[in-house]
Amino acid sequence: MSLLPAHFNAQLTALALATALFAPAALAQTTPSTSPPQQLRGSTLDGKTFDLQALRGKVVMVVFWSTECAVCRDKMPELRANVKGWMGQPFELVSVSTDRQRSNALTYTQLVNATVPANQRFTTLWTGESQYRDSFGTPGQLPAAYLLDKTGQLVEQYHGRIPPEAWDRIADLL
């Protein structure tokens, strides 16, 4: 039983509903840059050794995704377009497949390599690889994107759809 008058309960319910309906799909969480630089190492799906530290001096977006995630697959063309658009700038996009089976991520990567121009491709790692290590933790809702500044510090993270403001933030960091 509520201690508030009935009209306050109705207003609170309306406010909660409006907040839920109009909240952005991907909430940006700004992270202070006092933590150590993020770590990400392993083998790419193309068989190359990868270490995030090699990208210091560049702004990096790390995107966790899965072939089973419809939103993730839907966002791939946008990610590829942005990779092409930032070409020549100190920016890298790295994707990390969280697929349960490596074969799913590998099949997707082979399809991309056969159909997408090289200037729109990005590095992809798989979390199940024995050499895979990261300091991002469990991504939770997919896609999950982590934006790193040129020193490797996490500055923002997005869960769900990556908002257009994320690309503006990259421009600010360049």
The count of structural domains within the chain is 1
Tell me the residue range of the domain where 102 lies: 25-173
pLDDT digits (tens, 9 = 90+) for 12-57: 343 333 333 333 444 455 555 557 889 999 999 999 999 999 999 9
59 lies in a domain?
Answer: yes
Decide if pLDDT at 7 tops 50. Answer: no
pTM: 0.80
Taking a C-beta distance cutoff of 8 angstroms, is the pair 12, 91 a contact?
no
- CATH at 110: 3.40.30.10
4 lies in a domain?
Answer: no
65 lies in a domain?
Answer: yes
Q: Which of 45, 117, 167 is nearest to 158 (CA)?
A: 167
